[in-house]
Chain A
Amino acid sequence: MKIRHALRSFNAKVVITILTVGILAVSVGLFVTYWIGREHLQRAIGAQFQEMALETSRKLLFLLDHNVEQATLLAMTEDVRSVAEQANEAYTSPPMSEQQVQQRIETIKRLWAQGKDTDRFVRDLLDNSGSRYIQAFINNPVAQFEYYSIIVTDRHGLVVAADSRHRLAYYADQDWWQASFNQGEGSMYISDIEPAEEVSEFQRNFRLGFAVPVMNKAGSEAIGVVRMNIAAKHFFDAVTEVKVGKTDHVMLASSEGALLFCPIFQIRNHSLRPEFMKAIFRDRPGWTLTTTDVHYGGRQSINGFSPVSLSSEIHPSSLGGRQWYIFTSQNPDETYSPINALQNWMIIYGLTGVVALSFFGVYAARFIVRPLQDLQKGARVIGDGNLDYRFHIKTGDEIQQLADEFNEMATKLKGSHSDLEQKVAERTKELAVVNRINQAISSSLDLQLIFEILAKEVSELLDYDLISLALMDVSGEKIQTRMIKAREDPVIVRDAPLRPKTGTAVGFVVDQARPFIRLNLLEPQQFVEDRLALREGIRSYVMVPIVSKQASIGTLNLFSKRSQAYSKRNYEILLPIAEQLAIAIDTIRLFEETKKLDQLKSDFVSKVSHELRTPLTSIKGFTEILLTYDHIDLKAQKEFLGIINKESDRLTRLINDVLDLTRIEAGQAKWQIQPISATDLIDYVVKLFRSLALEKNLPIQVQIPKRIPMVRGDRDQVLQVMDNLLNNAVKFTSSGKITIKVIQEAAFVKVSVSDTGGGISPEDQAKVFDRFYQISGDRTGKPRGTGLGLAICKEIIDSLGGRIWCESELGKGSTFHFTLPVWSDELRYAEPLHKR
């Protein structure tokens, strides 16, 4: 993987590319050079060999011609011609018949065969002028050649002169004789290379024979033939002595494939292969590549060749009727040594070139890649976040341009990055502040403390000279609470209905439920706050609404002595804070409400306890008195028992009332909702109270319109309400009257019970429906209530969807009103409302 990765790197790619291109170029160059060089070398060598072959063939030809000439000269000498003429005369004077000629031939043949050196015929023949000339010619000490034999024949082929006695006397039946005599016309003839019969057979000597006609004086007719046999070695030497290199040599072959002259093989001892013959037996000199060389078969050799072209005067049957060819042969090792040397040099050059190229490639790659690597490293450094990194690449090319652009990019990035960082830092700070405020809010139920912390934290983000919090009252119409804080001063709290929101900036923001900014406060504007702020030197302010459950419950306000201290951008900070504040205020209010509710409950419990213990104290006290003391007079005894009785009743009532109340409150009361006729109900109650009222001389007046709709309610419960109200009215009224009025008001029927009693003070009015609240004042001798009657009434009426309240004036009497909804079918199935 590592190697693959390394190869994939740019550096490696460049190196590989350079090497590939370089090696390819070097290889192709070298190969072409080698190829051309090889071709040229081959051609040069071939040409040399061809020249060698040609030279040799010329030399051979020259030798042949020379000997033909020598023979011709010999034939033209007087001594030779005269013996031939004399011999021929024997056939003409007198003329011999053909038969006689044959007889003569046979006779001479016999004589020759029998004859010995001492024989007369032979001795005479070898001693005639012709033979003597020939012998002189052969024995010439300066003779160039070794002549094996020279003979002369007459026109019938019988020997007439010779250097010595040879095997045959008659030659006319020989091919060479016929060719040379050529039926009297005469022709020159050269024999093939043939064994020299003149020499011992074991020496395996060869000869070359030259036959020329002996012409008459006029030169018009052949009168005999001269044959001259020369040792083949002269020609052999002429051919084979040619040598240029160490292993090259020249050979002579005959067209039938026999290797005639070869410095290595004996004459006629080898044959050429047909392919080789085909390659070198050509009409013109030349050179060729063969793989079937006589000596170096199987390897590629270069062979020069040249035909030995005899002149046209030479009889065609010469040389055994074949063609001779000269060719060269050389050890391919030597032939190709320059080519191989070339090849070796090429390889050395190539390798050297490749090595040099490699070094160059690596260097060049580094040269190219180094700046790129620097770029890459730098880019990574920048990518890792080091935006201060700068490239220092001075290559003066595109890479430098790129690096410069990178530098510019890094600069810009750094710019935007630090912008971003600054924004993030700001935002983080904001979040931290909001977070700390949230913490304060969630860990405290003290609004003032929260506001103090908020004021401190907000000052971290926003400039202000005054910060304030305004909260509306329950109705949402009046500003209830204000908390104001100057920068270093403690919080000032005002918690009372301060002023109606009308005309205030706070009211405006609360109504709009949208933030508001005053940028440039120079003179009083439309809001109340503007005037006040101006007095304090305030030039600008911002107010954001505190919204809880889709209703604005107040505002958070910042004031500054600078003008244009705030912008809409500040909403981003203030609105979330206001949101948190809203939650805090909700929580605090809920907490306070719960606390109040808890207090109410525990108050109720302790009040119930108190109210139960009071009658019990009396009961226990008087019981114990009765049990402890003897001699209690009868009147007192009766009084005490009466008290015990009354207090027992009171205890029972109390228990019932408490049970009623808690049952209604807990939603456990069994309601029987039905249409009730207020008229019937009032009739019924009035009847119950009539006697009691009459005791106190109190008339009960009832005013009910004729048409009054039925109301929705529970008969027993509504009866209890009426009973309570009338009971109170009778109890607290000593003179005058009691009036019951019924009227319809929209969807409700209102029942009012008025008395002419002492009335209830305004502060008591607010509390009469509270549990165990009993109006203070002189109650001596009056039966004690439980203090729960009106509370139960309120629970019942509230549960039935009505309202109960009282109006009263001290000294004039009181009126208790309650309403109940008019009966309708839709309401039939509605559940009674339960108070929480």
Chain B
Amino acid sequence: MEHVDILIVDDEPFVVRSLSYIFQREGLTFDVAMDGEEALAKVQQLRPKILFLDIMMPKKTGYEVCAQLKRDPRYQSIYIIMLTAKGQEEDKARSLEVGADEYIAKPFSPRFVVNHVKEVVERLG
């Protein structure tokens, strides 16, 4: 089974594309899921260390995915970074409520994200 560092979950193809390009350039392993259900399937399969989780997605929202994973002892340790385009306090609170580790509002700086991800990866080992 092939493990990845990062799983990007977002239904916006251009956002996925930009993150993918950066991670690839930085030599991080990653995969992509376009909706919540796909995300859950890929987490099980790929055991990522970090999950980039968009909130507004078809089928299952980021909150649901996050809550479900954090309830499952097997996946509790996955570092979940919520991505939201809403940028409101409410979303931030909700994210932390469902157990997300971090919260990044769109639009974000790819460079910042990469540096941050690297740190997290190193910390997690």
| A interface with B by C-beta (< 8 Å) | 606, 609-622, 624-625, 628-629, 636, 643, 647, 776, 780
Contact = CB atoms under 8 A, between A and B. Distances in A.
A624 B109 contact: yes
By Cβ-Cβ distance, the 10 closest A-B pairs, closest first, are: A621-B18, A613-B85, A618-B14, A617-B107, A610-B85, A617-B106, A620-B107, A776-B58, A613-B106, A616-B107
B17 A609 contact: no
Contacts of B107: 613, 616-617, 619-621
Contact of B17 (A610, A624, A643, A780): A643
B44 to A, nearest CB: 23
Interface in B77-99: 84-88
Contact of A614 (B15, B25, B109, B111): B15
A614 B17 contact: no
A609 B59 CA distance: 21
Given A617-B107, A624-B109, A628-B111, A610 B56 contact: yes
A629 B105 CA distance: 23
Given A613-B85, A618-B12, A643-B14, A624 B111 contact: yes
A609 B106 CA distance: 10
A613 B87 contact: yes
B15 A606 contact: no
A621 B17 CA distance: 9
Nearest to B14: A618
A276 B78 CA distance: 165
Given A613-B107, A615-B14, A622-B18, 15 more contacts: A609-B86, A609-B88, A610-B84, A611-B85, A612-B85, A617-B14, A617-B108, A618-B18, A620-B108, A620-B109, A621-B107, A624-B111, A625-B21, A636-B21, A776-B58
27 contacts: A606-B86, A609-B86, A609-B88, A610-B86, A613-B86, A613-B107, A614-B15, A616-B106, A617-B12, A617-B15, A617-B85, A617-B106, A617-B108, A618-B12, A618-B17, A620-B108, A620-B109, A621-B14, A621-B19, A621-B110, A622-B14, A624-B109, A625-B18, A625-B22, A625-B110, A629-B25, A636-B21
A735 B110 CA distance: 40
B13 interface: yes
A624 B19 CA distance: 11
Contacts of A643: 14, 17
Contacts of A622: 14, 18
Given A613-B85, A624-B109, A618 B15 contact: yes
Given A614-B15, A617-B15, A647-B14, A628 B86 contact: no
A647 B15 CA distance: 11
A614 B84 CA distance: 9
A609 B17 CA distance: 21
Interface string B54-84: 0010110000000000000000000000001
A776 B85 CA distance: 19
B59 to A, nearest CB: 7
Contacts of A780: 13
A197 B83 CA distance: 186
Contacts of A610: 56, 84-86
